[in-house]
Amino acid sequence: MVMYLSEAGSPLLIYLGVTLFFGGVILYRAKQKRAEKEISFYCGLVLLFLLEIVCFATLQSYLGLLIFSLACLLCCFYLPAPAMLPVDRKAVLITGSDSGIGHKLAKFLDQLGFVVFAGVLNKRGPGAEELRKTCSERLSVLQLDVTSSQQIQEAFLEVKKKLGNEGLWGVINNAGILGFPADAELLPMSNYKQCMEVNFFGPVEVSKTFMPLIRKAKGRIINISSMAGGIPMLRFAAYGASKAALSMFTGVIRQELSKWGVKVAAVHPSGFRTSIQGTPEQWNKLEQNLLEKLTPEVKEDYGEEYLLALKNMLSRLPNLSKPDLSPVLSDVLHALLAKSPHGLYTPGKNAYKYLFIFHFFPLWFYDRCMSNIGRVQVTPKALRATETKEKKS
């Protein structure tokens, strides 16, 4: 080992390797602990880097590495904890509270002492009734279809009336639809338009309408996007495009509203089991709508066997998703109450990993990874015929 360190250039390479290793560990630990990445955090990283230079320049290789490694370990285990604001009956509006993430969030925040305005698509539905029965008197159920300008305006007036002179601390744009996951060529235009209407235009109008109340409180806007809103994913052209638009909108208003003291964050969850995935009855309707809109040529090229495989893939989605929504709830709470919230949260397994691969690895490598995830076992009919001809020739 000593002989290896004495070779030309070896100590420098070892220092660089140790730096990359501990740098990755520190950033990972910071993400896990949601450490506040303020000036003090980055100053600490700079001091570690300066310590490394001093150790390399003045001490023997093994001794310098030992001191530097110990300093990095201390940094890993004693990262600053996030500074959180008190709940103090802060008022929050949540869209899409009938079920799924929105429903769980409404209950979770109500239990913590927030004044919750739970926007639902059906005020008389089972989700709304359950919220009334299980939550405190602080929670109000609002009829709020995010595609209806009239309902958005009525919800705004009701919230404003109940708050009086107080501002609204948070708007959580959660309402969304998935649609039928299929190749972009197969999706009818109605699917694209509906996804944009619910997943993008709805949150934009809700945000714009409630912004005066948010600015008054110097509060928070949190948009629940998706992993598909940050990276391209097979068979999510309509859904992913609408969520990508929402993520971009979030980034823009985060910059614009900072001068008002308003914090804005996007949440990109990975696969969680929610009602957005639909039911078998809804899948049948979506499939029928898709088949009706296909031209005979496209239907012939893809073949019924391929279309059936897409439907089977959709039916497997709930089994591939995680039922525990606590990572999402925890990240939303941090975005609501942290003094320095992050601009982007990636709760769930693989959400950050694939985002990292997409941004920092060659596209061919990313495409290979995603093809393994979204693979359909059946090849389109026209491609099978071409492959058969090539083999015979």
pLDDT, one tens digit for every residue, the chain (393 residues): 344 444 435 666 665 666 666 666 666 656 655 655 554 555 555 565 666 566 666 655 566 666 666 666 666 665 666 678 999 999 999 999 999 999 999 999 999 999 999 999 999 999 999 999 999 999 999 999 999 999 999 999 999 999 999 999 999 999 999 888 889 999 999 999 999 999 999 999 999 999 999 999 999 999 999 999 999 998 899 999 999 999 999 999 999 999 999 999 999 998 776 766 666 676 777 778 888 888 999 999 988 888 888 877 766 666 666 778 889 999 999 999 999 899 999 998 788 888 888 999 999 999 988 887 767 777 888 887 776 766 666
Same-domain check for residues 6 and 67: yes
- Token reading at 133: 């029965």
Same-domain check for residues 351 and 280: yes
Same-domain check for residues 42 and 109: no
Residue % of the chain over a pLDDT of 90: 51
Residue 279 lies in a domain: yes
Q: Identify whether the C-beta of residue 92 lies closer than 8 Å to the C-beta of residue 120.
A: no
Say how many domains are in the chain.
2
Same-domain check for residues 131 and 54: no
Residue 250's identity, in one-letter code, is T
**Residues 382, 300: Cα–Cα separation, whole Å:** 8
CA atoms within 13 A on the CB side of 71: 20
239 is catalytic: yes
Indicate the pTM of the whole model. Answer: 0.79
Residue 327 lies in a domain: yes
Burial 254-266 (b: 16+ CB within 10 A, else e): beebeeeebbbbb
Residue 226 lies in a domain: yes
Residue 389 lies in a domain: no
Q: Identify whether the C-beta of residue 199 lies closer than 8 Å to the C-beta of residue 243.
A: yes
Residue 83 lies in a domain: no
Same-domain check for residues 28 and 147: no
| Catalytic residue chosen out of the listed positions 239, 302, 306, 354 | 239
Residue 340 lies in domain: 91-373
Long-range own/partner contacts, residues 130-137 (CB < 8 A, 24 or more apart): 130/103, 131/97, 131/103, 131/106, 131/107, 134/107, 135/106, 135/107, 135/110, 136/110
Same-domain check for residues 117 and 35: no
Same-domain check for residues 311 and 219: yes
Provide the 3-class DSSP secondary structure of residue 195. Answer: helix
The alpha-helical segments, DSSP class H, found in the chain are: 2-6, 10-33, 39-58, 61-77, 100-112, 126-134, 149-163, 189-196, 202-217, 237-256, 280-293, 296-302, 304-320, 326-337, 351-360, 363-373, 381-392
- Token reading at 155: 């919800």
**Residues 361, 363: Cα–Cα separation, whole Å:** 6
Same-domain check for residues 269 and 200: yes
